[in-house]
Structure 1
Amino acid sequence: MKSPARGTLPTHDVLNQPPVRGGTDLWLSDPVLQDAAKTAGARALELAAYGKTLGTEETRELGREANRHPPELRLFDPGGRRLDEVRFHPAYHQMMQISQSAGYAALAWDRQPGGHATHAAMVYLAGQVEPGHCCPMTMTYAAIPALAANEHIASLWQPKLMARHYDPSKKPIGQKTSVTLGMAMTEKQGGSDIRANTTIATRDGDHWRLRGHKWFCSAPMSDGFLTLAQAPGGLTCFLVPRWLESERNAIHLMRLKDKLGNKSNASSEIEYHDALVYQLGEEGAGVRTILEMVHHTRLDTAMAPAGLMRAALSEAHHWVEHRSAFQRRLIDQPLMRAVLSDLVLDWEGAVTLGMRVAQAFDGQTPEDKAFARISVALAKFLNNKRCPVVVVEAMEVLGGMGYVEDTPLPLIYREAPLNSIWEGSGNVICLDILRTLTREPQAAEVLGAELDAVRGTDRRYDAALTAHRSRWPGLPPEAEARWYAERTALLLTASQLLRHAPGAVADGFVATRLSGDGGRIPGSVAGLDTDALLARLG
């Protein structure tokens, strides 16, 4: 049993300070996640076990340690031989073991019901404790279906990608019990325009050799990477193994990116110096092949911001429940209640929409697949645009302490913009939305049906949907793509809340997000049922 810290000091008594939070069961304390998971068909038992483990004081300390001691690049051994390795703090490896053992990367593919919904909920939970270690596991999860483009590769790699444990050893795949996969697509000259890539693939017997660079290679200590290169037949997707049977593959790590946040995760620049690779998919079909992976990583980037919102609001809620100002607890002050209640609407909307998207990923019908393609882009766009706003306001609730590294808020703040940038930044996502609706009539049909399904439930929603379709009877011009995406995503979120959320949540969201009963700054609202909304924080 720990001895309590001393609150009686030589110059003053420590008063009016919230107690140290310690451990919190992330599943049991979150009614919003429990409701959304049940609706989406996620596996409650697995989520309960994972949420309990993540929320312990010991696991939270591992997350802090992994960020206090970021990865280090080791290019050479003492004798000058190339290593091209990244060394991580033991806490990072322990976080990987916890999450991989829980099935973060694997369970979506075990052919049991609710796999993608359960995975999405795990993304949400893990990001509340240590977001950086999610990157290699998210890419591993997303790469599994992409490997189906080559049956031989799939037979070797998929079973080890789906293993529920973590093996960080530096060995070829045949000697490992589990593996991870990363991605290396963008180059200096192209960025999101991957068709401008200049890396060259040259035939070498049954395999290929790559020469070129990648401006971003996430998780460079993964056991392999999906990458794009120019082959004679056009841009082609390849699997690059990190370790060969008798030598290290010719992947040179040039430097680690000095990022704003996501500190525990190594992101790097790399060069291929005739690296040995295996073709994945048809020659010239590289974009189509790797987009299967991108489609699934986007699910995670749509769900992760909801977890960050939850983490920030949880800290703010704890603070206001235990701190007083002007002779009243902060939680009892009307203006504070208005701010937090307004933020709850953004958070619950993000969770509910994200889990509905994940449910579509679990679906097997053409309609499910079409809805997954369009809704994941809408959820990624809206949830990530709201996330930094929620985090900043939660930080401000704590005052100066919210800006101090003694609290989790600075880490969450640095993380808040990230998922909007990864896997297609805002403009790219908006253009993808327009492209999908243009090229896939079924996507437009299922989206319309989803929006129409709650007509008659709330007259304000009906009016907003009618106004939306009057403003854009077809698709908008490109310059209005953000406006269109925002309104469509807000309507889609409202449609889910009207179906599944408590009345106070649905009513508040429709009133403030669709009907304009409020300002643009959080807390610029009136008439919210603050008791009901704050109860959602657990």
Structure 2
Amino acid sequence: MDPLQRAPENQATPLVGYNVATSDNALMDAVRAYGGEHTAEIVEDITPIGSLSGSAQAREAWHLSNENEPKLRTNDRYGNRIDEVEFHPSWHWLMTQGVGFGLTAEPWTSQSPVAHLKRAAGFFTWGQAEGGHMCPITMTYAVVPALRADDALAKQWITGLASRTYDFGIRPPEEKAGLLAGMGMTEKQGGSDLRTNTTIARPTETHGEYLLTGHKWFTSAPMNDMFLVLAQAPEGVTCFVVPRVRPDGTRNSLSIVRLKDKLGNRSNASSELEFNDTYATRLGDEGRGIRTIIEMVSATRMDCVLGSASLMRKALAEAAWHTSHRSAFGATLADQPAMTNVLADLAVETEAATFVAIRLASAVDKPNDPHEQALRRIGLALEKFWVCKRTPMMVAESLECLGGNGYVEESGMPLMFRESPLNSIWEGSGNVNALDVLRALGREPESLDAWITEMAEVRGEDARLDTAVDGVLTELADLTDVEVRARRIAASMATSLQAAVLIKHGDPSVADAFCASRLAGDWGGTFGTLPRGLDLAGIVARTTPHLEN
């Protein structure tokens, strides 16, 4: 045989044909822990999602949707302004599946007592197929709590937003089988400082209707059917519903200036919008816009945590798979002590993120439980800061496990690396979330009480966690220069919460490794520096994917 035609030796095959959900022991453990008697229902729901997410078809769509980026069409062939975005068929396939799995607004209309937990597990699973298209899915899910500020608007929109049918295109909402939502808050002069917004909302003669003039600096998925935006009404910053199509069936005067040329997330169209007498309906009271939209922000932050944890898991799966199928210096890479330590350390990070994300998602299903809601509020700010911040370094280390193979585009690792900083920036960067933690602690004492209660449930089970919790309380006892210490406090509280859920429900070897490294400081500051005496091989074994039969 011609040597050039011989199949290459000692190369890992692509990771396809595995179930992303059922092969993930951490996810399954978390679902059992928080799903309780409804565990079988959740597993039954996410198993087909996991099978498709780990398929060759999904992997191809992942690459194609990012290689063939969306294109802005401002005008048609005759010069008419249309402001439309064209997507590759792979994007539409991904959206059809994600919407079809009920990952948009369906949980808000479901009678299942674990609807949001089920959706979170599905989101975590399907997000590993491709991250960019999860943005409109997140927005469509997150808009519902804000819409409920107005019964008429909720009735008008929620049924379509909860549909399992993906119906692309700009048409009157009553003619569509399914609807998608977006959000526009930030402006070029202010960013996260929303009170500096300059977009003006002028009331019309019809009660509750306004015309907007101004801009939005970041609005993802501009082909969605409706958006929540903030603008300055006579009484101050107010929240509005802006549809792509006006009630009379004509297109709203909403101009897409350009699509952002982003580091990653390139399958998704993020745009700059301009409003010129754009029709809008007020949502909530004038001057209360930030308070009205904050529930949408909270729900999007939930998906930021889930999305980052999902990306961590995908990166780890690729690293564990490659190193278990590649040999060097006489042994399989994964079995070599230095690599075993790296993989185990990556697994510890990933399992902690997975568990805490599912824990917080479970709280959404308990809207009438004060403890759960207080924990959700403080926990989302903490883990949005910490999990999302940890993702880029974790993905980078996973990429390195593949060596040069991981640095080429075909592996998908560069795509994941470019995606990895996104959730840390979206809906409030690191400082915004760390300061949100301080504000919550100051304005809502029940938030700190909820965190302390979670810690108390495992008090005495691990001295390292007990010491970490005492350290947090010492930090909070002295509020001098507290903003300087905002990140330090948020990090300590976030890792303590992760440790608590791992000790309570996680694998004991993972919890032990987490507490030894993240809490006790027996760690070299980079992945692969876990101390001796831990079950590193066992941690790696439970995290390596296996193919479906």
TM-score interval for Structure 1 and Structure 2 normalised by the shorter chain: over 0.9
Q: Which residue of 2 aligns with 1:291?
A: 294
Asked if 2 retains the 8 angstrom alpha-carbon contact of 1:511 and 1:517, the reply is yes
Q: What secondary structure, in the 3-state scheme, does the structure 1 residue paired with 2:228 have?
A: strand
- Offset at residue 56 of structure 1 (A): 1.6
Output aligned runs, 1:126-525, within 5 Å. 126-206=126-206, 207-244=209-246, 245-363=248-366, 364-475=368-479, 477-525=482-530
- Is the 1:38–1:44 Cα contact (8 Å) retained in structure 2? no
More displaced 10-residue stretch of structure 1: 208-217 or 461-470: 461-470
Given that 2:239 and 2:283 are in contact with CA atoms closer than 8 Å, whether structure 1 keeps it comes out as yes
Query: Structure 2: how far apart are the matches of 1:465 and 1:272?
Result: 49
1:126-182 per-residue CA deviation (whole Å, 9 max, x = no partner) reads 221110110001000000111111111111101110111111132111111110010
Match of 2:19 among 25, 48, 60: 25
TM-score where L is the length of structure 2: 0.95
TM-superposed CA distance for 1:428, in Å, is 0.2
1:107 shift after superposition: 3.4
**Cα distance in 2 between the residues matched to 1:9 and 1:37:** 50
Q: Deviations over 1:181-215 (max 9, x none)?
A: 10011001110001100000011122110000111
User: Contact conserved, 2:105 with 2:158, CA < 8 A, in 1?
Assistant: no
Q: How far apart are the structure 2 equivalents of 1:107 and 1:33?
A: 22
2:535 to 516, 526, 529: 529
- Counterpart CA distance in 1 for 2:217 and 2:373 is 32
> Shift of residue 13 of structure 1?
5.4
Q: Which amino acid aligns with 1:497?
A: L
Q: Say whether the 8 Å CA contact 1:185–1:194 is kept in structure 2.
A: yes
Q: Would the aligned equivalents of 1:181 and 1:223 in 2 still touch at CA under 8 Å?
A: yes
| 2:343 and 2:528 in contact (8 A); partners too | yes
Q: Match of 2:81?
A: 82
For the structure 1 residues 11 and 45, does the alpha-carbon distance in structure 2 shift closer, same or farther, using more than 3 Å as the test?
closer
1:463 counterpart letter in structure 2: T
Check conservation: 1:40, 1:358, Cα contact below 8 A.
no
473-482 or 415-424: bigger deviation: 473-482
In structure 1, distance between residues paired with 2:15 and 2:451: 42
- Using the TM superposition, name which of 122-131 and 486-495 deviates more: 122-131
RMSD of aligned alpha carbons: 1.4
- Please identify runs of 4+ aligned residues in structure 1 that moved more than 6 A: none
User: Any idea what SS the aligned residue of 1:387 has?
Assistant: helix
Supply the AA of the counterpart residue of 1:33.
Answer: L
Helix, strand or coil: the match of 2:14? coil
Q: Distance in 1 between matches of 2:2 and 2:81?
A: 56
| Alpha-carbon distance between aligned partners in 1 of 2:2 and 2:228, rounded to the nearest angstrom | 58
SS class of match (1:479): coil
Is the 1:8–1:14 contact (alpha carbons within 8 Å) kept by the matching residues of 2? no
Code of the aligned partner of 1:298: R
> In structure 2, do the counterparts of structure 1 residues 445 and 474 end up closer, same or farther at CA, with 3 Å as the change threshold?
farther
Counterpart residue identity of residue 137, structure 1: I
SS in 2 for 1:171: coil
For structure 1, which segment, 474-483 or 244-253, has the greater mean C-alpha deviation from structure 2 after superposition? 474-483
Shift of 1:322: 1.0
Q: Distance in 2 between matches of 1:357 and 1:191?
A: 27
Deviation at 1:71, TM superposition (A): 0.4
| TM-fit CA distance, 1:468 | 2.8
| Other-structure match for 1:3 | none
Kept in 2, the 8 Å contact 1:214–1:271? The answer is: yes
Secondary structure at the counterpart of residue 4 of structure 2 = coil
Distance 2:475 2:173 in 1: 55
Provide closer, same or farther for how the CA distance between residues 9 and 177 of structure 1 changes in structure 2, counting only shifts above 3 A: same
> Match of 2:547?
none
Which AA in structure 1 matches 2:285? E
1:22, 1:136 → 2: CA distance?
A: 26
Q: Decide whether the 8 Å contact of 2:513 with 2:530 is kept in 1.
A: no
CA distance change for structure 1 residues 491 and 167 in 2, over 3 Å: closer, same or farther?
A: same
Deviations 1:426-479, CA, capped at 9 Å, x for gaps: 000011010011101111111111112111101222222223322332556101
Question: 2:356 & 2:455 partners in 1: Cα distance?
Answer: 13
Instruction: Classify the secondary structure of the residue corresponding to 2:201.
Output: strand
Report the CA distance between 1:29 and its aligned residue. 1.2
Distance between the aligned counterparts of 2:505 and 2:242, measured in 1?
Answer: 44
Shift of 1:8: 6.1
Identity rate, percent: 45
Displacement, 1:259? 0.4
Which deviations, in whole Å up to 9, do the C-alpha atoms of 1:93-131 show, x marking residues without a partner? 111111101100133211312122122222212221110
Q: Per-residue displacement from partner, 1:505-526 (whole Å, max 9, x unpaired)?
A: 1111000111111210111222
Mapping for residues 54-133 of structure 1, pairs under 5 Å: 54-109=53-108, 110-133=110-133
8 Å contact from structure 2 (residues 475, 489) kept in 1? no
Distance, in Å, in 2 between the alignment partners of 1:128 and 1:92 is 14
Query: How big is the shift at 1:20?
Result: 2.9
Deviation at 1:348, TM superposition (A): 0.3
In the alignment, the residues of structure 2 paired with residue 22 and residue 478 of structure 1 have an alpha-carbon distance, to the nearest angstrom, of 46
Q: Distance in 2 between matches of 1:138 and 1:258?
A: 21
2:106 and 2:161 in contact (8 A); partners too: no
- Alpha carbons of structure 1 residues 504 and 235: separation in structure 2 relative to 1, 3 Å: same
SS in 2 for 1:52: helix
CA contact (8 A) 1:86 1:220 kept: yes
Q: Is the 8 A contact 2:105 2:142 kept in 1?
A: no
The residue identity in structure 2 corresponding to 1:94 is: W
Q: How has the CA–CA distance of structure 1 residues 80 and 14 changed in structure 2, closer, same or farther, with 3 Å as cutoff?
A: same
Q: Report the equivalent of 1:4.
A: none
| Structure 1, gaps ≥5 residues long | 1-6
What amino acid sits opposite 1:468 in the alignment? V
Query: Are the counterparts in 2 of residues 40 and 114 from structure 1 also a CA contact under 8 Å?
Result: no
CA offsets per residue over residues 57-94 of structure 1, 9 Å max, x none?
11221222111111000000111110100001111111
Question: How many residue pairs end up in the alignment?
Answer: 532
Does the aligned pair in 1 maintain the 2:21–2:46 contact within 8 Å? yes
1:260, CA displacement in angstroms? 0.5
Relative to structure 2, which stretch is displaced further, 200-209 or 256-265? 200-209
Cα offset, 1:11, TM superposition: 7.6
Asked if the contact 1:303–1:380 (Cα under 8 Å) also holds between the matched residues in 2, the reply is no
Distance 1:171 1:326 in 2: 61
